[in-house]
Amino acid sequence: MLTVGLTGGIGAGKSEVSRLLASYGAVLVDADKIAREVVEPGTPGLAAVVDAFGPEILTADGALDRPKLGSIVFADPERLAVLNQIVHPLVGARSKELEAAAGPDAVVVHDVPLLTENGLAGLYDVVVVVDASTETQLDRLVRLRKMAESEARARMAAQATREQRRAVADLVVDNDGPLESLEPQVRKVWEELNRRAAEAGAGS
């Protein structure tokens, strides 16, 4: 098995790269998706969040009110740390379960938005960084996600720099161009990942 950490700045196109890799046969472990699953109604995760933040962070139908919780934690680093202490171990455990179920020859791609920021590069056999210029990121956030420019700039500033991300990368996907120039690059990365997986299998 080859474990891959996939990351990239907001608006760099990481979701598209993870979608392509999954379509080629990678087992995708999406940290953001799992983070939502572990706090769904009826889960121990949601019960722990309510214990820590109170019932007012629930919607009328008992689901997590994400905007409300976000407004609390993103204004207060200590509260954010409390939330992370609840959610991160649950995400880690579920990610390990999915990885264990993948089989010995699998290429398991972990989609991890804050891999660089949280110093997680060492957890994976290979780190793939999806890279785009800050101008491209800003354009996509404003044009495609309809963010205000000030919000887009703030979100980008809260993340690692391009240089920091590239410093931990084993493989870089340059996604400054149009979508059609992305696919051949990702296909090459997939071939390289399979080559490394085969080498790792032969060596074990």
Element (H, E) at 91: helix 77-100
pLDDT at 138 exceeding the cut of 70: yes
Domains in the chain with CATH codes: 1-26+106-204 (3.40.50.300), 32-104 (3.40.50.300)
Query: 126 - beta bridge partners?
Result: 4
pLDDT at 64 exceeding the cut of 90: yes
pLDDT at 1 exceeding the cut of 80: yes
pLDDT, mean of residues 34-38: 95
| Distance in angstroms (rounded) separating the CA atoms of residues 51 and 67 | 18
Size of the chain, expressed as the number of residues it contains? 204
Mean predicted lDDT score pLDDT of the chain: 93
Confidence (pLDDT) at 71: 86
What is the distance of C-alpha 112 from the center of its chain? 3
pLDDT at 179 exceeding the cut of 90: no
pTM equals: 0.84
pLDDT digits 0-9 by tens, 70-102: 888 878 889 999 999 999 899 989 998 999 999
Confidence (pLDDT) at 31: 87
Q: How confident is the model at residue 204 (pLDDT cuts 50, 70, 90)?
A: low
pLDDT digits 0-9 by tens, 141-177: 999 999 899 989 988 988 999 999 999 999 999 999 8
Confidence (pLDDT) at 171: 98
What DSSP assignment string belongs to 111-143? E-TTTTTTT-GGGSSEEEEEE--HHHHHHHHHH
Confidence (pLDDT) at 61: 95
Cβ pair 104, 138 in contact under 8 A: no
pLDDT, mean of residues 173-201: 93
Percent of the chain with pLDDT over 90: 79
Directed axis angle between helix 44-53 and helix 77-100, to 10°?
170
- Phi, psi for residue 126 in degrees, rounded to 5: -140, 140
pLDDT, mean of residues 101-120: 92
